Amino acid sequence: MSGIEQVADVLKLLGDKNRLTIVALLKEKELCVCDIVDVLQTSQPNISQHMRKLKDGGLVKERKSGQWVYYSLNVQDKPYIAEILKEIPSQDNMPSSVCEENECCN
């Protein structure tokens, strides 16, 4: 796959409002799925599907802690994404602290 095809595929991933919001949230800090579910007000399977696509596209990485999975951005090798992220507004509705209020991660 050529460089331009890779960039096009990544930009397609970010063309979805939910995935773009997830990336904006992860720009601030590492989150688990339950945090993202709370912010986007959608189902856990829906968020998990978006996370799988972002992970397959190389935009996020995961860290397992017990039975919970935490996601963070993985864009060091994609400077064009870092530039895009500078322009994405901060998410005011982001959880104040990772998983403190969610029963799923306690």
pLDDT digits (tens, 9 = 90+) for 49-86: 999 999 999 999 999 998 888 999 999 888 888 888 88
Domains of the chain with CATH codes: 3-90+100-105 (1.10.10.10)
Residues in the chain: 106
Query: Considering the entire predicted model, what is its pTM?
Result: 0.82
Q: Which residues pair with 61 in a beta bridge?
A: 72
* End-to-end CA separation in angstroms for the chain: 42
Cα distance between residue 72 and residue 87, in whole Å: 18
Cα distance between residue 37 and residue 44, in whole Å: 6
- The amino acid occupying position 22 is I
Stronger pLDDT, 18 or 91, i.e. the higher one? 18
